[in-house]
Structure 1
Amino acid sequence: MECIGALKPSRILDMGAGNGILCADLNRAGYDVVGTDYDEVGIAIARQAYPQLPFYTFGVQDDPALLLKTEAKFDLVVSTEVVEHLYNPHQLFTYASGVLKEGGYLLVTTPYHGYWKNLMLAVFDKWDEHHAPLWYGGHVKFFSKQSLRQLFADTGFDPIEFHGVGRLPYLWKSMVVLGRKRSQ
């Protein structure tokens, strides 16, 4: 929330809103927020729990113009713990770019998978437990600081801020990256 407050956005889109809890928290903090998720069950739960907020069943594969038929462009798109589930993570960034105002921001969180963390998982025989390869709908992409920054850069965003989240540097649980949409 601190990072979001510093940006002073008036409109926020939560991509991958799930059950809507982050949207509700942002709304309570005074933001105009909209949630999207491809999961119809999650959106149904969000609509029931937070009927005052707009939720849409759209995924990153959808045309951003569909959302913009009923919603104005956004100052900030937030996507928490979503990108690692996507076979084509570029779609998330392309969608975000399509719904953001010029100079808008994209805030992405995802599990951290740098060299040292992966090495520790392998050494302590936790690789399969951590990556859960048999989990349907689980993580299919694993990002390091460098690979996520590259994804931002490749899709028209300037990565401007990075934070590791966890107790030990370079063994972080997650990372938070903020990028700004480049002018056309």
Structure 2
Amino acid sequence: MTDTQTTVDPAEVAKFEAMAAEWWDPKGKFKPLHMLNPCRLDYITSQIAAEFDRDLSAESPFAGLRLLDIGCGGGLLSEPMARLGATVVGVDAAERNIPVAQAHAAQSGLDIDYRHNTAEALAAAGEQFDIVLNMEVVEHVADPLAYLTACAQLLKSGGLHICSTLNRNPKSFMMAIVGAEHVMRWLPKGTHEWSKFITPDELFDLLSKSGVTPVDRKGMVFNPITWSWSLSDRDLSVNYVTASVKP
């Protein structure tokens, strides 16, 4: 990693370093992400297809698109994007995540450029992408606006930025902190800090200030009866995702 000024929070990185080996265990510490992943992918693929006029039924619908998965972890999103034909760069500030992601991609026969790096360092190096995926990361950084500005700088003109995070309200505290960490034990206690959660209006404001134009937002809602996630136009009370374009 370079010495470029960064918004990385070392304490947050340490949390995920400790869980790195479990990324691909659907019953392990990242069980919530495995459960959420189909819902995330539904939103991501539909937004990319709409923005770049791609047919998702084609063999490699995202061929020719360069995509950055920032905060890639073990590659839960990088791998499906590569399978859809995108040229994928996966970046994470937690160094131990990278060999885990590289090993799994090799086992899967996928060519993904995984790097231990930061958004700020990539922006300083002049890297450019058609798409930046920024999923469940912004609530873990030290300076959200500086971080989102670096992400915006990484986009080509006309590029697409997809960002998901957690709303900040009493319900999200009960669901994401009390429920997920203390009751269900889906995540280690202390994984999230409720004070770092960001409301949809706050995120739209931060995105606008960063240099992109927000164009869409949807909730990702967990149904405890069907034990599944779905997208919602109305319920953004806990998990939600946004799409923005760079002018």
TM-score range, shorter chain: 0.7 to 0.9
Match for residue 129 of structure 1? 178
Whether 1:164 and 2:219 are equivalent positions in the alignment is: yes
After TM superposition, what 4+ stretches of structure 1 lie above 4 angstroms from structure 2? 125-128, 134-137
Q: CA deviation at 1:65?
A: 3.1
Structure 1 131/152 Cα, relative in aligned 2: closer, same or farther at 3 Å? farther
Alignment of 1:82-97 (within 5 A): 82-97=137-152
Q: How many Å separate the matches in 2 of 1:66 and 1:82?
A: 21
Q: Is the 8 A contact 1:11 1:75 kept in 2?
A: yes
Q: Is the 8 A contact 1:156 1:181 kept in 2?
A: yes
% identical aligned pairs: 26
Structure 1 172/48 Cα, relative in aligned 2: closer, same or farther at 3 Å? same
Q: Which amino acid aligns with 2:192?
A: G
Q: What is the aligned counterpart of 1:44 among 99, 107, 111?
A: 99
Q: How many Å separate the matches in 1 of 2:86 and 2:122?
A: 25
Whether 1:6 and 2:65 are equivalent positions in the alignment is: no
Structure 1 15/121 Cα, relative in aligned 2: closer, same or farther at 3 Å? closer
Residue segments in structure 1 that go unaligned for 5+ positions in a row: none
The secondary structure found in structure 1 opposite 2:78 is helix
Q: CA deviation at 1:49?
A: 1.2
Q: What is the aligned counterpart of 1:31 among 86, 90, 114?
A: 86
Q: Is the 8 A contact 1:15 1:36 kept in 2?
A: yes
Whether 1:138 and 2:197 are equivalent positions in the alignment is: no
Q: How many Å separate the matches in 2 of 1:80 and 1:64?
A: 18
Structure 1 151/44 Cα, relative in aligned 2: closer, same or farther at 3 Å? same
The secondary structure found in structure 2 opposite 1:40 is coil
Q: How many Å separate the matches in 2 of 1:130 and 1:87?
A: 25
Q: How many Å separate the matches in 1 of 2:180 and 2:104?
A: 31
Q: Which amino acid aligns with 1:77?
A: V
Q: CA deviation at 1:163?
A: 0.8
The secondary structure found in structure 1 opposite 2:99 is helix
Q: CA deviation at 1:127?
A: 8.6
Q: CA deviation at 1:143?
A: 1.3
Whether 1:103 and 2:163 are equivalent positions in the alignment is: no
Q: CA deviation at 1:63?
A: 5.0
The secondary structure found in structure 2 opposite 1:62 is helix
Q: CA deviation at 1:61?
A: 4.3
Q: Which amino acid aligns with 1:62?
A: A
The secondary structure found in structure 2 opposite 1:76 is strand
Task: Name the TM-score, length of structure 1 as normaliser.
Answer: 0.79
Q: How many Å separate the matches in 2 of 1:74 and 1:33?
A: 9
Q: CA deviation at 1:4?
A: 2.2
- Aligned CA RMSD, in angstroms, stands at 2.7
The secondary structure found in structure 1 opposite 2:198 is coil
Q: Is the 8 A contact 2:70 2:134 kept in 1?
A: yes
Q: Which amino acid aligns with 1:65?
A: A
Q: Which amino acid aligns with 1:3?
A: Q
Whether 1:65 and 2:124 are equivalent positions in the alignment is: yes
Q: What is the aligned counterpart of 1:80 among 111, 135, 141?
A: 135
